[in-house]
Amino acid sequence: MSIDSATQNWSTAERKIMEATYRAMLEYGYSGLSISRIADQFDKSKASIYYHYDSKDDLLLAFLDFVVDRFKTDFAEGVDEDPNSALTTVIEKLVPLRMNDEEFQGQRVLIELRSQATRNDAFREKFTEINELLVRTICEIIERGIENGTFRDVEAARVAEHIVATVNGSTIDRVTTDRETAPAAVRISLVSYIDSELRSHR
């Protein structure tokens, strides 16, 4: 996750708060995060944040909306490509062979926020939305490919669920273990899965 790309629906003030939240999350993690520390990131008072958001959790839920918007922008890029390239592009984005430091830190922050979803219904709703978005995006690419004859006539939703589970499992492995060769193995196996499931004509 990087937050440098433009997203609509956000006022300049809100965007600045989101960017400050992101920087504070990178530095302190979920457990060390506070409105004061977010305010420190952009020389504003706590009051100016509370003007927009009632609480730390309220702000973090908005932050997850910001992440969702960013995903949407990111995925929209490949939408005009042919289904084959579009699917390859999505996989390359979701399971990069290497993550730069900011991407790694961003995924770490997302896992910390996701862990809150185990006991907090509002966070749970957001992560339901994020996973639905990923599955739907991939499902639509597969359906386009089936329609135009690029892919075999598979159950698109099931294949999409498989890809998203594999991607999410690989990401959590990457940010919570020291298994450095695992992401590349999963990336190769995922490409091979997609080849045999969608592209091979028997």
**Binding residues vs a copy of itself (CB under 8 A):** 29, 31, 108, 111-112, 114-115, 117-119, 123-125, 127-128, 131-132, 135, 157-159, 161-162, 164-170, 172-173, 175-179, 182, 185-186, 188-190, 193, 196-197, 202
- Distance of closest approach, residue 27 Cβ to a copy of itself, in angstroms: 11
Residue closer to a copy of itself (CB basis): 48 or 131: 131
Helix 121-147 to helix 83-94 angle (10° resolution) is 150
Q: Are 126 and 67 in contact (CB under 8 A)?
A: no
- Distance of closest approach, residue 20 Cβ to a copy of itself, in angstroms: 20
- Distance of closest approach, residue 113 Cβ to a copy of itself, in angstroms: 9
Residue closer to a copy of itself (CB basis): 88 or 117: 117
Nearest to 174 by CA among 184, 183, 164, 165: 183
Residue closer to a copy of itself (CB basis): 17 or 170: 170
Report CA 95 to chain centroid distance, whole Å: 11
- Distance of closest approach, residue 30 Cβ to a copy of itself, in angstroms: 8
Contacts of 125 (CB under 8 A, 6+ apart): none
d(CA 72, CA 103): 17
CA distances for 200 relative to 100, 176, 193, angstroms: 33, 35, 10
Residue closer to a copy of itself (CB basis): 37 or 162: 162
- Distance of closest approach, residue 170 Cβ to a copy of itself, in angstroms: 4
Residue closer to a copy of itself (CB basis): 44 or 199: 199
Amino acid sitting at position 187: R
Two structure tokens written together for 45: 């008072």
- Distance of closest approach, residue 51 Cβ to a copy of itself, in angstroms: 28
Residue closer to a copy of itself (CB basis): 48 or 120: 120
Tally of CB atoms within 10 A around 55: 10
